[in-house]
A and B are shown apart, each in its own frame.
Chain A
Amino acid sequence: MSTTRRRAVATAAVALAGSLLLASCGGSDSGSSDGKTLKLWHYEGPDSAMGVAWNEAIKEFEAKHPGVKVKFEEKGFEQIQKTAPMVLNSNDAPDIMEYNKGNATAGLLSKQGLLTDLTAEATQRGWDKKLSAGVRTTSQYDTGGVMGSGKWYGVPNYAEYTMVFYNKDLFKQYGIAEPTTLDQLTAAMDTFVSKGITPLANAGAEYMAQQYLYQLALSKADRSWVDKYELYKGKTDFHDAAWTYAATTFADWVKKGYISKKSTSLKAEDAGVSFIQGKSPILFSGSWWYGRFQTENKFDWGTFLWPGSNLTLGSGGNLWVVPKGAKNKDLAYDFIDITMSQKIQNLLGNKGGVPVGADTAAITDPKAKTLIADFNTLSGKDGLAFYPDWPVAGFYDVLVSETQKLITGSEKPDAYLSALQTAYDKGAPKT
């Protein structure tokens, strides 16, 4: 090979290698700061209540901002959850993004200075007035990233809460009236068990099992108990009366056949499908199932709040956050404002979501009316108690894993509670 050719080959090789290296380092686009583009990410399915409402909000935003284009990218929940810190540290951050609420998520990002302080906008645009105290909790984070006080780092446009979904046809078939007390609910479950039907749909491999458990604890708890657990305003003792009642009752319900021992490996989808197929007469879960049940249930069904409890699982929905490095923050604020408008909120409500600022008279669907009325009752009595996995990063997996042991009977309630205590104490901020 001649020296010239060799040099040429060498140059080409180095150029190729250099470009490979550059590519691997991520040739990020520098983002648009022209005021002509709003880069928006969210992870709501296009057919969900939120997806429909946000799409309408995009249209309205473009109509109100001639010459501005919304560059929407649909992301997955997991995708945003796992990569948000890295993305927000880069030049690829969007102008506005939907993000999960709670200490380990939005709280962590706010603590690290990756989110924009929205306090001034929230007051000036009146968002703070539209959100009830329980819903607002997940918007504000203190300097330690703990929710409930401090600056506004996110705005939820909808809410969510858990309720008992029940198959009215099956209840009627076995002569059971809608339960209004826990005793009546227990009696109803006994009837189903006696007929060879496992009454409660459950999913041990995902959130559903831990939500039954947390609801049982909440039925013996009050706001200060929740504040201790979720906001670290005091010491949480997993061997207290509420947690002990929850763990022993749950284990007892498995023994009695209210909850199937075979539900350990099931996912939330399996439990939902079991309810939709009419195999399980009762499912306790969140309002996110509502729209789907409305579409897919082939039987008469209804809902009621967990009997005998002032508190239930629930909170404001996921948050709109504005990354610190967003290029078009004013456009982002305008977009949030539109999603908070009554028109979009009413649309959300009519599609089976739980709006935070809808005109109840404008909600036409009777089931949606019940859903929103129940939420208003709950919100009015400050009954949103958040979710059990929020206080500590990674607690979700601990709860799944430990509750599975409770279902299989491989762990006794006392040991179960001790395991939760250890994981909680390890992860909660040291006071």
Chain B
Amino acid sequence: MTVTVERDGRVVRRQRSRTDRPRRPHSSYALFLLPGVLAFLAVIVVPFLMNTGVSFTDWQGVGSPKWSGLANYRELMDDSEFWASFRHSLFMVVAMAAVPTVLGLVLAAALFDFVGKHFGTKVAAVLRACFYLPQVLPIAVAGIVWSWILAPDNGSLNALLKAVGLGSLQRDWLGDPDLALYSVMGVMVWVQIGFPLVVFMAGLQRVDPQLYEAAELDGAGWWRRFGHITLPQIRPEIYVVLLWCTIAALKVFGAVYVLTKGGPGGATDVPSYFSFTTFFEKTQVGYGAAISTVLTVIILVLALIGLKLQTRAEDAEEGLRA
């Protein structure tokens, strides 16, 4: 909301700050937030600050930590394994955010616009549930099942390829360093796809059907309607999904732990797994804490940028409507 004020004889427009808002009559309800705030402090803020504190020490997890200043962060800057794990994270963003968002959009629109209309909403709902199923499965279970599917000798994928005469395409999907990351990415696409699909289908429910009808009358085909109506109308959902999935991709751990343990030869290592092994296996607790602190800061920054972009886009949209 903008207000007009006079400053130094000039009339300026400025955003109305929150403090300008009239005081709510039931401000005492804020008290109900107290347990949540305290729990947030106890479970998130305090451990994060402690972790940050530990990251400035040389500590093995027991005994007294030795203050080492920025040594862990300096080491991190030159640690090729850490940066390699970060590069893998970017691949994970593609697999867990970019690809599922695009596929989710197309599938949601197809289910809503085509399957729902021609086969009924029940069929669309069943298909939606099928796509969502991997999200319900614990990642440990999904990972173990996929490791059977992708097993080199008796895995079902290789068996299937052989059965259909494509034996030459058989590979050691999780054991070949050139392939392992792409295999994990494939599994993650499968895991993630249901989430954007469900969110986008919910978003499509609120789009005015008259827009589609008008466009259809004007002769717009499915892809044209998708590009000019569906996409702009569910932009807020797209932002939310992209942000949510990007954060999930940056902190992915379970799938890597179950499928490859960062291997072969570090080919699928990601920062959270790297931090875990440094922390618990190598008992370099200070260094592990530095890795997770950096990871948290990066995720926070990305989240804030994402939220800012989303707010700006929404404001711009509201401005256009006004």
Interface residues of A (CB under 8 A from B): 1, 6, 9-10, 13-14, 16-18, 20-21, 24-25, 81-82, 85-86, 88-89, 104, 108-109, 111-114, 204-205, 260-266, 270, 393-394, 396-397, 400-402, 404-405, 407-408, 410-411, 427
B174 to chain A minimum Cβ distance, whole angstroms, is: 4
Contact A20 B282, CB 8 Å, known A264-B172, A405-B264: no
Take A85-B62, A104-B283, A109-B62 as given contacts and tell me if A266 and B152 are in contact as well, using a CB distance cutoff of 8 Å.
yes
Contact partners of A14 in chain B: CB under 8 A: 34
Query: Chain A: which residue is nearest B147 at the CB level?
Result: A265
Would you call A405 and B177 a contact (CB within 8 A)?
yes
Determine the residue in chain B with the shortest Cβ distance to A15: B35
In the complex, B61 has a CB within 8 A of chain A: yes
Q: Which B residues are in CB contact (< 8 Å) with A394?
A: 277-278, 281-284
**Complex CA distance for A72 and B13, rounded to whole angstroms:** 71
Q: Contacts of B119 on A, CB cut-off 8 Å?
A: none
B152 x A9 contact (CB < 8 A) = no
> CB distance B32 to A13 under 8 Å?
yes
List of B residues within 8 angstroms of A266 by Cβ:
151-152, 175
| B contacts, CB < 8 Å to A | 26, 28, 31-32, 34-35, 37-39, 42-43, 60-63, 147, 151-153, 172-177, 180, 260-266, 277-278, 280-284
- Assuming the contacts A85-B61, A264-B175, A405-B177, asked whether A400 and B281 have C-beta atoms less than 8 A apart, the reply is no
Within 8 Å CB of B278, what residues of A? 394
Known: A265-B174, A265-B175, A401-B266. A396 touches B153 (CB 8 A): no
Which chain B residues border A205 with CB–CB below 8 Å? 175, 260-261, 263-264
A9 to B33, CA, bound (A): 12
Min distance, Cβ A262 to any Cβ of chain B, angstroms = 4
Please give, as numbers and ranges, the residues of chain B lying within 8 Å of A20 by CB-CB distance: 35, 38-39, 42
Q: Contacts A108-B60, A112-B63 given; indicate if A405 touches B31 (C-beta within 8 A).
A: no
Nearest-Cβ distance from residue A91 to partner chain B, whole angstroms: 16
A156: shortest Cβ distance to chain B, in Å? 22
A401 touches B34 (CB 8 A): no
Query: Could you list 14 examples of A-B contacts with CB < 8 Å?
Result: A9-B28, A17-B38, A21-B42, A85-B61, A85-B62, A261-B172, A264-B172, A265-B175, A265-B263, A394-B277, A394-B278, A401-B263, A401-B266, A411-B265
Shortest C-beta distance, B178 to chain A (Å), equals 9
CB-CB under 8 A from A396, the residues of chain B are: 281
Could you say which of A25, A260, A401 contacts B265, with CB atoms under 8 Å apart?
A401
Q: B38 and A21: CB pair below 8 A? A: yes
A398 to B278, CA, bound (A): 11
Give 13 A-B pairs besides A17-B37, A17-B38, A113-B63 with Cβ atoms closer than 8 angstroms: A1-B28, A6-B31, A9-B31, A9-B32, A85-B62, A114-B62, A204-B175, A262-B152, A264-B172, A266-B152, A394-B277, A405-B177, A410-B177
